Structure 1
Amino acid sequence: MAPPGADDWDCVPTAEHPEPVVLVHGTWGNTYSAWSGLAPQLKEDGYCVFAPNLGEADITTRGGVQSLGPGVFATKDIALTAGDLADYVDAVLQATGTSQVDMVGHSQGGLLARQYLKFNGGAEKVGRLVTLGATNHGTTLNGLGTLDRTIGDLGLDLDPALDYVIGEAGIQQVYDSPLLTELNADGDTVPGVNYTAIGSRYDTTTTPYESTFLTAGPGATVENIVLQDGCERDMSGHDMTYSPRVIDLVRNALSPGSVEQVRCEPVAPST
């Protein structure tokens, strides 16, 4: 099920917002649960909004035990899912008659978007990328990932077995994974794309939270934003997609200056 405001394949982009926006959800999630706050706001702003469910795998194909439940996506090999994202973007471009989209990616969704940009032809098809708590440089998973790496250094590689427990995509997001090493080998960005990376000091999934931030390379721009800077009472953690402040920051990242007063509302920390 698409979130409200998304997946109107007859939508015609406006002169004010000529690029459609593709929203990419994170691990173990789906598009409805991730984007039912942001998608209707962007639609109200005048964007054409699209939000695919991506990365479906079952437990036999290394989707992890979470894949046994309903509505669970983004567990498949991220490199393969990036190919699915490429096909989806091409369909959006054809339907809307545009040459570029903008993207917003939460958690794995931001990392997946970067994989698409670098390896699947996305660099020329994306103008702006906004990441929310993305595992751009991997995560220690509050120490669990560190334990896994320590055991690996002792000669016991648990990752193949953990693919069937956590899911292949989850293991690929632990720091120093082969996928992350290859993705970040030549820098964080590709030329021609404007990046915004939003992170929270209360993130307990992408840890340390600073690992979400990016460094601009040639031909790209990066704005790194700590959610609590200027608004300590928004204590949103990893699941930040419903924060009014995050929603306004995304709107400004997609259309700079469109929100004159970014909201600062109290949000309790989540786990």
Structure 2
Amino acid sequence: MRPTIRALGSAVFASATAAAVAFSSGVANADPADTGSGSGSGSASFASDAIGPGPEMTSFLGAFAYGLAHPDAAPPGANDWNCKPSPEHPQPVVLVHGTWLNTYDSFAYLSPQIARAGFCVFAFNFGRENILSGGGLGTILPGRYGVGPMEDSAEQLAQFVDRVLAATGAQSVDIVGHSQGGPVTSQYLKFDGGQGKVAKVITFGATNHGTTLLGIASLGRFIENLGLDIMGFDEPFIGQANVEQAVGSPFYAKLNADGDTVPGVDYTAVGTVHDEISNPYDWTFLTAGPGATVDNITLQQDCDQDLSDHLTIMYSPRAASIALHALDPAAHPDLQCSFNPWVIGGSGHL
């Protein structure tokens, strides 16, 4: 029987309890240094480096458990600041995680594959806040980042990209984003100086046009439009970034007012029909504007056995092959197709 969202939540919080105890006992890594705050808008959001690469993982649940106990671990293969891009792969790859996640549990499967393909890979944790500053209840768990205002997170991405370019000597980067990583990247490209510094954007389950969260956000926005500020009331519980990602938010009205893309960027947007967070799933797709190209891909096209949901898409062999193909189509011409189960990921293995 297919697991329910409630069952997933119970499993996650059961795992989180043990990890939180370990964290409070000093088992978890100490937070690394702050690498830059937001816009000065009053948010306490900040970004930090991911340090000490964790182990390679094949399942989301395994990576999530490790990320709770080691909330600032770097995904394997990332953050070699001495890495110099090769002529075959001149753009470093920057990884941008999603909401209530960290860069390790988002990319512990994909990052080492990109590094082994010959790319310099870099990752960081952004949108960090605590419950008192507006991050929501999720921040009581270690490593639940990406909760601050997306405008501030985009500025943090801008600072990180500039560091990567300075360290590598590259002219531009490629970005791989999951979930909130999509709109944060778009915000950076459109409003924070990213145009001309990014060659390719590859997203998975990106909330590029907001989400209904299976209709909950649509209902909340409807009630808000009747005059009751229910979305603002929810903010202390779910965090600022989640409120912004609800369909119809002012954030998206500004972000997409002049179209989905910017000139000079090649976009690949991947969605899964089993996505319970970014839904309808085709809202993850983009429409190409002048000077941009877009490849919208449904994960299950020609591969029905891939049952990846919003989180396990990052642990799908097919999704990884799509990312590698987008980054270097000549070296990675073929797409994989294998069973990848809902919730667990890792082709059914922890």
Q: Please list every run of 5 or more consecutive structure 1 residues that lacks an aligned counterpart in the other structure.
A: none
Q: Does 1:57 align with 2:129?
A: yes
Which 4+ stretches in 1 moved above 6 angstroms? Answer: none
Q: Please, which of 102, 115, 126 is the counterpart of residue 43 of structure 1? A: 115
Of stretches 249-258 and 45-54 in structure 1, the one that deviates more from structure 2 is 249-258
8 Å CA contact 2:325–2:334 kept in 1: the answer is no
Partner residue, 2:140: 68
Distance 1:258 1:170 in 2: 38
Alpha-carbon deviation of 1:36? 0.6
8 Å CA contact 2:127–2:150 kept in 1: the answer is yes
Q: Please, which of 229, 232, 235 is the counterpart of residue 157 of structure 1? A: 229
Distance 1:258 1:249 in 2: 12
Alpha-carbon deviation of 1:254? 1.1
8 Å CA contact 2:78–2:123 kept in 1: the answer is yes
Distance 1:258 1:154 in 2: 54
Distance 1:191 1:262 in 2: 27
Partner residue, 2:244: 172
Q: Does 1:12 align with 2:80?
A: no
Distance 2:333 2:326 in 1: 12
Partner residue, 2:293: 221
Q: Please, which of 307, 323, 338 is the counterpart of residue 250 of structure 1? A: 323
Q: Does 1:263 align with 2:336?
A: yes
Q: Does 1:231 align with 2:303?
A: yes
RMSD (Å) for aligned C-alpha atoms: 0.9
Of stretches 96-105 and 145-154 in structure 1, the one that deviates more from structure 2 is 145-154
Per-residue displacement from partner, 1:4-43 (whole Å, max 9, x unpaired)?
A: 0000000011111110000000000001100011110011
Partner residue, 2:53: none
Amino acid at match of 2:123: A
Partner residue, 1:122: 194
Distance 2:172 2:298 in 1: 28
Q: Does 1:3 align with 2:75?
A: yes
Partner residue, 2:153: 81
Alpha-carbon deviation of 1:153? 2.2
8 Å CA contact 2:114–2:121 kept in 1: the answer is yes
Partner residue, 1:199: 271
Partner residue, 1:105: 177
8 Å CA contact 2:95–2:123 kept in 1: the answer is yes
Alpha-carbon deviation of 1:237? 1.0
Distance 2:153 2:225 in 1: 29
Distance 1:35 1:260 in 2: 22
8 Å CA contact 2:212–2:247 kept in 1: the answer is yes
Amino acid at match of 1:270: V
Determine helix, strand or coil for the equivalent of 2:115: helix
Distance 2:310 2:99 in 1: 12
Amino acid at match of 1:204: E
Partner residue, 1:189: 261
Alpha-carbon deviation of 1:137? 0.6
Distance 2:320 2:182 in 1: 16
Amino acid at match of 1:123: Q
Q: Please list every run of 5 or more consecutive structure 2 residues that lacks an aligned counterpart in the other structure.
A: 1-72, 345-350
Per-residue displacement from partner, 1:105-137 (whole Å, max 9, x unpaired)?
A: 000011111110001000110000001000001
Per-residue displacement from partner, 1:226-254 (whole Å, max 9, x unpaired)?
A: 00001000010111111000000001111
Alpha-carbon deviation of 1:262? 1.3
Distance 2:297 2:323 in 1: 11
Determine helix, strand or coil for the equivalent of 2:254: helix
Distance 1:262 1:119 in 2: 34
Q: Normalising to structure 1: TM-score of the pair? A: 0.98
Q: Which has more radius of gyration?
A: 2
Partner residue, 2:52: none
**Count of residue pairs brought into register by the alignment:** 271
Determine helix, strand or coil for the equivalent of 1:89: helix
Distance 1:270 1:187 in 2: 33
